[in-house]
Amino acid sequence: SITLASAGSLDSLMGLGSRTIGELADFSQALLPTLAAATAASGAVTTATVQQVSTVFFVDLLLRLIRQLLLPLVYLYIGLLTAAACLPENRLGAIAEALKKLVTWVLTTALLVFTIYLSIVRIISGSADSATVKVAKAAISGVVPVVGGIIADASETVLAGAGMLKNTIGVFGMLAILAACAYPFLQLGVQYLLYKLTAYLASVVGAPGLCKLIDGLGGAFGLILGMTGGCALLLLISVLASVGAVMP
C-alpha cells in the first residue's frame, strides 16, 4: 500500500515525475528536426551553428538515457525495496542499494560530461553577471537533489541565454519558456517536500521495517526529482541553443 501510494499513480508523487520526464523528452525530440529545418532554410551554416545543433542532439541523447534506461531502473529499485520489506532479514536490501548507486553514478557522470562540454563549447554568446551566477549556483545546488551541484555549473549558460531571449522575444516570451521548463520541477518539488515531512512523521510511530521502506522510497523520489530537474535544465539549454542557431 505504501509503495502504491508513493509510486503507483501517474498523477501524483513519483508517477508525476515519470510523466513529466516523458513530456520533456517528447518536446526535445520534436525540437531537433525543427532546428535542422530552420537552419537549412536560413542557409547560413557556421561553426557556431554546428556546435548549437550538436548541443541539441547531445541533449536529446541524454534525455533518452534518462527516460529509457535510468527511470526504469529506479522503478526496479522501488520493486526491490518493496520485496526486501516483505522478506525476512531484508535479503534484497543490498541489491537495491547497489542499483541505486549505479543509477546515481550514471546520472551524475552523464550530466558532468555535458557540463564539461558546455564549458568548452560556448553555445551562447555573451556572459552573465558574476554575482547573479553565484546566487543561481547556490540556489540550484541546494534545491535539486542528487545532481544539483553538477547542473549548477550550467547556470551561467542559462543566464546568458535568458538575456538573449529577452532581446529576441521579449520579457513575456522569455518568462513563458522559463516557466514551461521550471514549473514541472517546482510542482514535483513541493510534493517531494510534503513526502519527506510525512515520512518523518511516520518514522516516529511506524514499524522499523516500514520506516526503512518509506526512507528508501524517499531516496527513489529524490532520484526522480533530480532527473526531472536535470531534464528541465537540458531542455532549456536545448531551446536556448535552437534560438541562438537561427538568430540573424
What is the phi-psi region of residue 176: left when phi exceeds 0, alpha when psi lies from -120 to 50, beta otherwise?
alpha
Q: Which three cell numbers stand for residue 238?
A: 536545448
Per-range mean pLDDT, top range of 15-24, 107-116, 166-175, 195-204: 107-116
pLDDT digits (tens, 9 = 90+) for 56-85: 778 888 888 988 999 999 999 988 888 888
pLDDT at 44 over 60: no
Q: Where is pLDDT greater, at 26 or 159?
A: 26
Which are the contacts of 229, defined by CB distance < 8 A and separation ≥ 6? 143, 144, 145, 147, 148, 151, 185
- Say if residues 85 and 6 touch (Cβ distance below 8 Å): no
Task: Report CA torsion sign: 78, 82, 85, 89.
Answer: negative
pLDDT at 12 over 90: no
- The DSSP output letter for 91 is T
| Mean pLDDT, all residues of the chain | 73
Q: How many whole angstroms separate alpha carbon 110 and alpha carbon 116?
A: 10
Give the per-residue pLDDT at 166: 58
pLDDT at 223 over 80: yes
- Say if residues 108 and 146 touch (Cβ distance below 8 Å): yes
Average pLDDT on 175-202 reads: 75
How far, in Å, are 8, 58, 75, 86, 153 from residue 111 at the CA level?
28, 11, 21, 35, 10
Q: What is the 3-state secondary structure (H, E, C) of 25-74?
A: HHHHHHHHHHHHHHHHHHCCCCHHHHHHHHHHHHHHHHHHHHHHHHHHHH
Give the per-residue pLDDT at 9: 61
Burial of 202 (0-12, 13-18, 19+ CB in 10 A): middle
pLDDT band with cut points at 50, 70 and 90 for residue 49: low
State the pTM of this model.
Answer: 0.78
pLDDT digits (tens, 9 = 90+) for 109-159: 888 888 887 777 665 555 555 555 565 566 566 666 766 677 666 666 666
Which are the contacts of 61, defined by CB distance < 8 A and separation ≥ 6? none
Burial of 130 (0-12, 13-18, 19+ CB in 10 A): exposed
